[in-house]
Amino acid sequence: MMLDIVFLAATAVFFAVGIFYVRGCERLKKE
């Protein structure tokens, strides 16, 4: 159960970082 939470959290974190990456690329363009 503990490992399930870890892996599901890791999945959520990865895709959250992906969204930040999108925002970062967008910001780089504006600069």
Q: State the minimum distance, in angstroms, from the CB of residue 14 to other proteins.
A: 6
For residues 27 and 18, what is the distance between their CA atoms, to the nearest angstrom? 14
For residues 4 and 21, what is the distance between their CA atoms, to the nearest angstrom? 26
The dihedral through the CA atoms of 24, 25, 26, 29 has a sign that is positive
* Positions in 10-29 near other proteins (CB under 8 A): 10-12, 14-15, 18-19, 21-23, 25-26, 28-29
Amino acid identity, residue 6? V
Q: State the minimum distance, in angstroms, from the CB of residue 3 to other proteins.
A: 4
Chain positions contacting other proteins, by CB under 8 A: 3-4, 7-8, 10-12, 14-15, 18-19, 21-23, 25-26, 28-29
